[in-house]
Chain A
Amino acid sequence: MLVYALGGGRGHAVRGSVLAAALQRSGAEARVLVPTRAVEVPALLGVPCVPCPRPRDAAALRRFVLDTCERHAVRALLVDTFPEGLLGELCEGPAGPPRVGLLRCRRDAASESFLRGVRQLRLALDLEPHLGWLPRDVAAEALGPVTRPLAPTPSPVDVLVVASEPALVPTLGRLSLRLGEQGMRVALAAEGRLVAPGVDRPAFPLPPSFLGAKVVVGAAGFNLTYEAHALGAWHVALPRARSHDDQRRRAAALGRTVDSPLALERLVARLVTDAGRAPRRVDVLPAEVVARRVLAVV
């Protein structure tokens, strides 16, 4: 089995690797297709990967994917987020192995290219049915969000601040410093490092103990949102603009949002001192659930 996990950032690579690992634990042979720049993700999660260099165009990517399927005798292609292929390449030319779609929220869910991709799937699994993002006439099975296995562990900090992209670093760095000055125990993940009093380590993968802080501040991408949610942390979200992902929708459903840096600081301080754990709004599933569902149809 091949998990197609191409796309910007690392979210696709993380989700795809987590699923490939679960498939392997279920006895299937699975590897994950990730952009060459993201190969450290499957490596850290212990999953065999196929690195995909930046293709010249959709036709080149189609050839690369089909060749990979042939070389590894792939029986099924599990496509993360882009049922039509990242460049629309899966809908053109020879069909290749049957495809299962792992669909997370997309802003362009009504677009013809996405719908065409969905129609070609053997099975479509909606990872975010609670967001109501899929057009009503799309036949997809409501599943739920999946994350890597996360055991709840007491957190050494009150607040985990995740500056996952350069644009967030100055503001969230200032925020971290100011929260620390107010007496909160703060950890900051920025520029690949996780730093906290007495801690300086690679940021990826974020340890569950830090994700289980009282409050997690960061963008509203899939993995951070559901990992924090699974561990009962309040997610104070700064939704980021993306060409496909709808972080505002996710943040509105699961997190708390604010409209200025000072409001952010005040909300974090209030949640740390006043609030209990964040309410459970959706059940976050272990990847095994998806693996079982996939193995039942291919």
Chain B
Amino acid sequence: MSRCRETSGILFQKACRAAAELACAQCQRPICRAHARSVATRDVCVACARTALRDPGWRQSLVHLRDDPYFYWYYHPGYGDPYGPGDYRLFDEEGRFGAGVDDPWQGT
């Protein structure tokens, strides 16, 4: 069995040591389960899924990747401005200051 050839990390590239279990339906290279994503019912590698995500025509059908750690910073929500409403909300919490928002028994 060959090794996974995907080098995409969550943020930085690195070699994957896992055994390949399938081939990317787009670029054909061998990949492991952890690096496979479903795009239009085909299993593709993370790199090919990221390429698809950059195409406006595909974005709508890839919303399931939004909360995937490999993708949420590729999910550029707007065009021109790389940041979207969720990013801007982080800087606009006037209303929330003063509200008790953390549970004393919760961790972060």
Contacts and interface: CB of A to CB of B under 8 A. Distances in A.
B99 interface: yes
A293 B92 CA distance: 41
Contacts of A180: 11-12
A164 B108 contact: yes
Contact of A243 (B81, B88, B101, B105): B101
A242 B101 CA distance: 6
Chain B CB within 10 Å, residue with most, of A170, A176, A180, A264? A170
A107 B87 contact: no
A261 B88 contact: yes
Interface in A34-50: 35, 37-38
Interface stretch (B20-28, B54-62, B69-77): B69-77
Contacts of B87: 170-171, 174, 261
10 contacts: A8-B104, A9-B108, A35-B105, A87-B104, A169-B72, A174-B82, A195-B12, A196-B12, A243-B102, A261-B88
Interface of A: 6-10, 35, 37-38, 54, 86-87, 107, 164-171, 173-174, 176-178, 180, 188, 191, 195-197, 200, 238, 240-243, 248, 258-262, 264
Interface of B: 9-12, 14, 69, 72-76, 81-83, 86-88, 90-91, 93, 96-108
